[in-house]
Copies of this chain bind each other. A is one copy, B any other.
Amino acid sequence: MRVLDRGDQLRKELDAARAAGRTVGLVPTMGALHEGHASLIRRSAAECDVTAVTVFVNPLQFEHSEFEHSEFEHSEFGHSEDFATYPRDLPRDVDVAAAAGAGLLFAPPVEDMYPSRPTVTVTVAGEDVLEGAARPGHFDGVATVVAKLFNLAGPCRAYFGEKDWQQLRVVRRLVADLSFPVEVVACPTVREADGLALSSRNVRLSAEERQAATVLYRALTAYPHQAMADVVATEPLATLDYAEVVDDRLLIAARIGGVRLIDNIHIDLLEVS
C-alpha cells in the first residue's frame, strides 16, 4: 500500500488506474480507523480493483459557524474542542488500511486541502434536523470535503457507513444534485458484542462511560415496546439529545459524560406491527 499526502498525487494514481482499465473504490474517513472502517475497506477491496482510503480530519465540519467568522488560520481550529481532541493515529491507520486491502492511503495536511480559506463551498438545505440541528453547518462542511475528495479521486464507487445515516443521505443528495460520477455504497454498522456501534470517539470514554454507552443500542432495540427516552433516562451518565423515527429508521444521539455518540437502526416493520 502506498501512502500519499498530496491531492494531485491521488488524482494521478487513480487516473492511471482507470486508464489501465481498473475500477476504483474510495473510502473517505477521518482516520482513527476501527473495525467499522475496515469492513468498508474490505468490501471495497472485494468489489473494486484499487481501493483508496482517505484520512482527513476536516476542520470545515467542526464548529463551522466559528470557522466561517474567523480568518483562515490553521491554529484557530483549536477553538473547536471536538476537532482538537478528535483521535489521530496515522501509523496505526496505515496498518489497518493495508491489512484490510487498501492499495492507497491518502492523508493530506490541512494546507494541501485548504491552501487558503475556501470561498466556494457546498451548501446543504433541508438537513437542519437531527445532527444538522445539533451541529449547525456540519453537513455543509461534510458535503464540501466529500465533493473535493470526489473531484480528486474521479469516477469511483464510494463506501460510507450506515452509522452516520444522515451523512449518508447528504452524500447521496450531493451525488444526485451535482451529478458526481460516483456510486455511493452504504455498509452496515459494525457493533461490539454488547451492541455499542463502533466509533472513533469511543476511545474517549472512561471505563464507566463505556458501560453506560450501551444505552443507545438498548434504547433503539427496546422500541416500540418502551420509549427510547425512557431507556436513556435509566442511565445516569447519559443525556439524551434526540430519539426520532425518520422514514424507516430509528435514530438516537446522546452525550455520555463528555462524549457525544449517535446510532441508528432500520425498523423491522413486521416486528412493529
Do A154 and B179 touch across chains, with their CB atoms under 8 A apart?
Answer: no
Q: In the complex, which of the residues A15, A119, A125, A152 has the most CB atoms of chain B within 10 Å of its own CB atom? A: A119
Q: How many chain A residues touch B (Cβ–Cβ < 8 Å)? A: 31
Q: So how many copies of this chain end up in the complex?
A: 2
- Bound Cα distance A124, B121 (Å): 7
Does A170 interact with chain B (Cβ within 8 Å)?
yes
A7-B123 Cα distance, complex, nearest whole Å: 22
- From B176, B178, B181, A122 is in contact (CB under 8 Å) with B178
Question: How near does chain B come to A173, taking the closest CB pair, in angstroms?
Answer: 5
Verify A174–B122 contact, CB threshold 8 A.
no
Identify which of A37-45, A140-148, A201-209 touches chain B. A140-148
Chain B residues within 8 Å of A242, by CB: none
Besides A120-B176, A121-B122, A148-B177, 20 other A-B contacts (C-beta < 8 A): A7-B179, A11-B181, A118-B177, A119-B125, A119-B126, A119-B177, A120-B123, A120-B124, A120-B143, A120-B170, A120-B174, A120-B177, A121-B123, A121-B177, A122-B122, A122-B123, A147-B178, A151-B178, A151-B181, A154-B155
Which A residues are within 8 Å of any B CB, using their own CB? 7, 11, 15, 118-127, 140, 143-144, 147-148, 151-152, 154-155, 170, 173-174, 176-181
